[in-house]
């Protein structure tokens, strides 16, 4: 990819890393919507690897305001997914795990509000 101007987006695209705005959108879907199809679609459309998404979502979780016990559990679960992906576990299975841990976190956040 040849470009006259080096921008943040060009750097992310050249390195194959997810854009911060994509990670923010995926995190929003994971916490607020029915998201399995959307995450898979974004992954396919942007050519992202699930391990890259998990890594960046983990960093994004540190920026979200939430109770520390929910954050710790979420980070631990994300680390477990990244660990399993590093050993070649099935992406679809791990995407299901990603969805499950955010569904669990969403339920915990709703319980805190009540």
pTM value surpassing 0.85? no
Q: How many domains does the chain have?
A: 1
List the CATH number of the domain containing 105. 1.20.272.10
Give the largest CA-CA distance in the chain: 53
2 part of a folded domain: no
For residue 34, the model assigns a pLDDT of 67
1 part of a folded domain: no
CA distance 5 to 31: 35
* In the predicted structure, residue 1 carries a pLDDT above the cut 70: no
For residue 81, the model assigns a pLDDT of 97
For residue 28, the model assigns a pLDDT of 81
Higher pLDDT, 25 or 93: 93
3 part of a folded domain: no
For the segment 27-78, what is each residue's pLDDT rounded down to a tens digit?
A: 887 777 766 777 777 888 888 889 999 999 999 999 989 999 999 999 999 9
Whose tokens are 């890259």? That residue is 52
What are 10's two structure tokens?
A: 């060009």
- State the residue range of the domain holding 52: 8-113
86 part of a folded domain: yes
For residue 99, the model assigns a pLDDT of 87
Q: CA 18: distance to chain centroid?
A: 10
CA distance 77 to 65: 18
Q: Mark out the alpha helices in 16-90 (DSSP H runs).
A: 20-32, 36-46, 50-61, 68-86
Average pLDDT along the chain:
87
51 part of a folded domain: yes
* In the predicted structure, residue 3 carries a pLDDT above the cut 70: no
């Amino acid at each position: 990819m040849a470009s006259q101007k080096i921008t943040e987006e060009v750097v992310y695209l050249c390195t194959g890393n997810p854009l911060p705005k994509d990670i923010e959108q995926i995190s929003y879907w994971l916490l607020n919507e029915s998201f399995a199809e959307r995450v898979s679609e974004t992954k396919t459309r942007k050519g992202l690897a699930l391990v890259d998404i998990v890594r960046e979502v983990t960093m994004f979780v540190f920026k979200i305001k939430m109770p520390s016990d929910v954050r710790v559990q979420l980070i631990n679960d994300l680390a477990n997914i990244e660990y399993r992906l590093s050993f070649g576990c099935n992406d679809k299975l791990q995407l299901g795990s990603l969805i499950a841990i955010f569904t669990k976190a969403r339920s915990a956040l709703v319980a805190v509000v009540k």
